[in-house]
């Protein structure tokens, strides 16, 4: 019979405290759903796969079923699990000693507080941070504007920049028009000087 599963963690039902129906009484749909769900749960418990999350009613009935099984001697601890628990128990003193050696210096250690202080702590933190935020806003609001302290960038000298060569070459007379090599030499020398200045300046040397 295909019935929908009852929702997990659904609202608490009355089946735990209500009277148990007669053996011959027809079950309601709700009872059928709970019964199938409980049957599945017993399957899992017998297989050692009890789900960690159960409703309180399911847990109560499962505990009764486990008590019945335990009394019959049907529930034993698995060997592997037993070995794990024994190892954990034998390691407990050394773990405790290590914790003691580490002391309260760990960043994770939180000092013990009394109940009143523990209750007040969130309010204290909230109050302190709110006050700090308000003070910061007030400081920004009331601050007198002043001149920027950052100096304006120094303009780059013209001789370091790309520029026309008119200043170097000057007016070209008609009789010197064929002496282009000399003019090129002058321009080259001017540019080379600028290059040296930039290079020496960047290395921190004299300008």
Partner 1 sequence: MAALATTALEMDEEERLVAEAQRGNLDAMRPILERYAGPLYSTVILPRLGDAGSAEEVLRDTLATAVEKIRRFTWQGKSIYPWLRQIAINKIFDLYRQTKRSRRMLSALSYEVDTESDARDAADAQLMAVQERAHHRARIDETLAKVPARYRAAIELRLIQELPRDECARRLEVAVATFDVLLFRAVRSFRKLFGEREGTADAASAERASQRQEKD
For residues 189 and 199, give the distance between their C-alpha atoms in angstroms, rounded to a whole number.
Answer: 15
| Residues belonging to the chain | 207
Residue 58 lies near partner 1 (rule: CB under 8 A)? no
Six-digit token string for 11 = 């609202």
Give, as one character, the DSSP assignment of residue 103: G
For residues 48 and 75, give the distance between their C-alpha atoms in angstroms, rounded to a whole number.
Answer: 9
Q: Which is nearer to partner 1, 72 or 149 (CB)?
A: 72
Give, as one character, the DSSP assignment of residue 112: -
Select from 6, 13, 45, 169 the one that contacts partner 1 (CB under 8 A): 45
Residue 43 lies near partner 1 (rule: CB under 8 A)? yes
Give the per-residue contact string, 124-163, with partner 1 (x = CB under 8 A; - = no): ----------------------------------------
Q: Which is nearer to partner 1, 35 or 192 (CB)?
A: 35
Burial class (CB in 10 A: 0-12, 13-18, 19+), 152: exposed
Residue 86 lies near partner 1 (rule: CB under 8 A)? yes
For residue 78, what are the contacts with CB-CB under 8 A and spacing of at least 6? 48
Residue 27 lies near partner 1 (rule: CB under 8 A)? yes
Residue 4 lies near partner 1 (rule: CB under 8 A)? no
Six-digit token string for 85 = 């628990």
Binding positions for partner 1, rule: CB under 8 A: 1, 3, 15-16, 20-21, 23, 27, 31-32, 34-36, 38-39, 42-43, 45-46, 48, 50, 52, 59-77, 81-83, 85-86, 88-90, 92-93, 96
């Amino acid at each position: 019979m295909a019935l929908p599963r009852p929702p997990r963690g659904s609202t608490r039902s009355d089946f735990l405290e209500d009277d148990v129906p007669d053996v011959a009484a027809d079950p309601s749909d709700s009872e059928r759903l709970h019964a199938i769900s409980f049957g599945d749960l017993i399957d899992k418990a017998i297989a050692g796969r009890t789900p960690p999350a159960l409703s309180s009613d399911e847990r109560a009935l499962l505990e009764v079923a486990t008590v019945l099984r335990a009394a019959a001697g049907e529930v034993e601890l698995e060997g592997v699990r037993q070995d794990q628990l024994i190892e954990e128990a034998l390691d407990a003193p050394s773990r405790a000693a290590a914790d003691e050696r580490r002391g309260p210096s760990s960043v994770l250690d939180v000092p013990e507080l009394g109940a009143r202080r523990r209750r007040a702590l969130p309010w204290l933190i909230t109050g302190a941070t709110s006050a700090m935020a308000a003070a910061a806003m007030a400081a920004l609001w009331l601050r007198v504007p002043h001149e920027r302290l950052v100096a304006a960038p120094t303009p780059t000298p013209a001789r370091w920049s790309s520029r026309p060569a008119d200043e170097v070459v000057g007016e070209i007379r008609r009789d010197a028009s064929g002496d282009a090599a000399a003019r090129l030499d002058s321009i080259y020398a001017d540019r080379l000087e600028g290059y040296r200045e930039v290079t020496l300046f960047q290395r921190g040397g004299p300008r």
